[in-house]
Amino acid sequence: MINKKILFGAFMILSLFGCSDFLEEDPRALVSPETFFASENDARQAINGVYAILKNNSIYGQVGLDHFYDNGADIIEPNRSANFVEPIGNYSLNEALADVSVQKMSVSDTWKDLYRVILNTNTIIARVTGNEGISEAAATDIIADATFIRALCYWHITNLWGDAPYYTDVLTLEEIGSLGRTDEATIIEGVLADLRFAQANLQDSYTGADRGRASKWAAAIVEAKIYMKQQDWQAGLDKCLEIINESPHSLLPTYAEVFDPLNEYNDEIIWSLDFAKDIEGIFDPAFPGRAFAGNNSWRPSMFNPRLRDEPLNTNERDALAAALAENGQAFNGTGLQVASKDFAEKFPMNDLRRELNIVDNYLGFDLVFPYMAKFWNLDLETSPRFNHSDNRLVFRMADVHLMAAECENERSGGNPDDAFEYIRAVRERAFATVEEAEAIRGLSQQGFREAIYDERKWELAAEAHRRYDLIRWGILLDVVQNLEFRFWQPNVNIRPHHVLLPIPLQELQLNPNLLESDPTNNGYR
């Protein structure tokens, strides 16, 4: 868990690397060890600063990446019309709206922060490489960490925008500001090289103050996901089996245990970003008074209900509040992430995962909306509103088992029955009987393919995978067009080009070269 001392160090790094102060500097002028990184500790604090940016609202804090990977699909939707999620969730986004920021959550904020991380990791790698003040072993470890984070950000960028600016050297701001778009395939080649280096040099796992660091297995799962998107099914299966057979991670006996806030570093979690209550974090000097990179999580508040919306019988609101208080709890969230109408209606009633994904009655009170309790934290004392210690889950083993099953089913010579064996344990903990768990055995390749579509939906609900899956399967348009939503009309608004985001208008105005290879800006012009 990152402590306050480390956060102070991260603040110092961000003062150099982040926002307006950094933009006034020439990165090349900061590379020499005489100006910074006089020791391993300096470099470690720089890496902590980069992890802090990942926790920003626009990336893994609050619901930054959730906007792109979950909203506008078939699992979650808001419980009311909300302007900061509407453009993406309702497929009404355009270049200008991409610049509109609420609580540092917009397409523009995500673009800028992902590239801020990339600029910083490039600089860290350059400063550590050949630095006589840092031992070779420590330098390799630090570079591997920075390399993984850089690869992760470029992977997200290609998922969201496709072709994009790509650089791995320390460039001047003028050079960065004139870069055109590199084709996605070339970027992915570089990402895979970075991931292989990271996996070869990061540790199996981390403990103590390093528990929030990504391990070699985080690099491995991203690599496997890339192979699957490329439809290199054998390479994907091989990488998944490497994780299953060689990593220290394993499935937990029950689904509920995975999301236990008192056991956030359990064996199933491959990587989660650690957060801490009462540490409000670092402030962006370009936006005084606004949190830039905090260490207390806002995300549970987005899934927690708010009392003014509940219960179904409004005359029982005081009674519900009293019942919650007796448990030391409160409905003091925003309710802006609830189970979608389609998801709630279709989730199998006999699936034991349902009670953590669909909560429509609590403490005996019928609720207006179906909530996703696996992300709740209603405890008033340990987890007050917008001040949660809950970690941000990024990758876990059940995903790997589902990936392995899909790869086996799709690869040349693959067999659906063999594929089922990779998810047998996932299914058996999800159902009360073996017969129910084995209900998807004996299917054809197409039948098992469609079963995987649903199995990933039920198992990984709202864990920021769904739109990515629907897009790589080529079915996003068909799925969304056949859904019914509460407030908006994404089923009416969605178009084929919505598989990608537009580059924000301000970026295009600052750098017209971004339109050279694609004057349509991913179809938004």
Please give the structure tokens belonging to residue 186: 């070339």
Q: How confident is the model at residue 2 (pLDDT cuts 50, 70, 90)?
A: very low
Burial 320-359 (b: 16+ CB within 10 A, else e): bbebbeeeebbbbbbbbbbbbbbbbeebeeebebbebbbb
Share of the chain above pLDDT 90, in %: 79
Looking at domain 4-233+271-296+501-515, which of 1.25.40.390, 1.10.540.10, 3.40.190.10, 3.40.50.720 is its CATH number? 1.25.40.390
Lowest mean per-residue pLDDT among 36-40, 190-194, 257-261: 36-40
Share of the chain above pLDDT 70, in %: 90
Query: Which tops the pLDDT comparison, 386 or 252?
Result: 252
Reported as a single tens digit per residue, the pLDDT across 209-250 is: 899 999 999 999 999 999 999 999 999 999 999 999 999 999
Contact 166, 154 (CB under 8 A): yes
Entry field: residues in the chain: 525
What is the maximum span of the chain, computed from C-alpha positions, in angstroms? 70
Please give the structure tokens belonging to residue 103: 């609580």
Please give the structure tokens belonging to residue 520: 């349509």
CA distances from 126 to 29, 51, 112, 139 (A): 12, 18, 21, 11
- Kindly give, in sequence order, each residue whose CB lies less than 8 Å from that of residue 362, ignoring residues fewer than 6 positions away: 320, 371
> In 3-state terms, the chain is what percent helix, strand and coil (to 5)?
50, 10, 40
Lowest mean per-residue pLDDT among 178-192, 202-216, 374-388, 505-519: 374-388
What is d(CA 10, CA 280) in angstroms, rounded to the nearest whole number? 13
209 CB burial (10 A radius; 0-12, 13-18, 19+): middle
pLDDT at 11 > cutoff 50 = no
pLDDT at 285 > cutoff 60 = no
What is d(CA 431, CA 455) in angstroms, rounded to the nearest whole number? 12
Reported as a single tens digit per residue, the pLDDT across 352-409 is: 999 999 999 999 999 999 999 999 999 988 888 888 889 999 999 999 999 999 999 9
Averaged pLDDT, 299-313: 95
138 CB burial (10 A radius; 0-12, 13-18, 19+): middle
Return the pLDDT at 84. Answer: 72
> Average model confidence (pLDDT) for the chain?
90
CA distances from 141 to 78, 134, 138, 199, 504 (A): 41, 11, 5, 11, 35
Return the pLDDT at 510. Answer: 96
Residue ranges matching CATH 1.25.40.390 in the chain:
4-233+271-296+501-515
The residue type at 503: I
Contact 151, 195 (CB under 8 A): yes
Q: Residue 95 gets which letter from DSSP?
A: T
What is d(CA 183, CA 162) in angstroms, rounded to the nearest whole number? 7
Return the pLDDT at 280. Answer: 61
Predicted TM-score of the model (pTM):
0.92
Query: Rg of the chain's alpha carbons, rounded to an integer?
Result: 23
Averaged pLDDT, 456-484: 97
pLDDT at 298 > cutoff 90 = no
Residue with tokens 């930054």: 64
The residue type at 251: L
pLDDT at 283 > cutoff 50 = no
Q: Quickly count helices (H) and strands (E) in the chain.
A: 24, 8
Strands (E), 298-449: 338-339, 359-362, 365-371, 392-396
What is d(CA 165, CA 153) in angstroms, rounded to the nearest whole number? 12
Q: Residue 105 gets which letter from DSSP?
A: B
Reported as a single tens digit per residue, the pLDDT across 16-68 is: 444 333 333 444 444 443 456 889 999 999 999 999 999 998 999 877 898 89
pLDDT at 291 > cutoff 80 = no
What is d(CA 435, CA 267) in angstroms, rounded to the nearest whole number? 27
Query: Which tops the pLDDT comparison, 340 or 6?
Result: 340
